[in-house]
Amino acid sequence: MAHWLFKSEPSVFSFEKLIRDGGTEWSCVRNHSAKLNMMAMKLGDRGFFYHSNEGKAAVGIVEVSALYRPDPSDATGKFGMVDIRAVEPLPRPVTLEAAKAEPRLAKMALVVNSRLSVQPVTDDEWEIVCVLGGLKAQRGAKRAKAPA
Partner DNA sequence: GCCAACGTTGGC
Q: How many CB atoms lie within 10 A of CB 127?
A: 20
# residues contacting DNA (CB under 7 A): 18
Region near DNA per CB under 7 A, out of 36-44, 48-56, 62-70, 127-135: 48-56
Residues 51-70: x where in contact with DNA by CB under 7 A, - otherwise, as a string: -xx--x--------------
Residue in 17, 32, 104, 142 binding DNA, rule: CB under 7 A: 32
CB 139, min distance to DNA, A: 28
Could you say which residues in the range 69-128 bind DNA, by CB under 7 A?
96-97, 100, 112-117
Nearer to DNA, 10 or 138 (CB): 10
Looking at the Cβ atoms of 94 and 141, the one nearer to DNA is 94
Q: Minimum Å distance from CB 93 to DNA?
A: 13
Residue 136 burial (CB count, 10 A) = 8
* Interacting residues with DNA (CB under 7 A): 7, 9, 30-33, 52-53, 56, 96-97, 100, 112-117
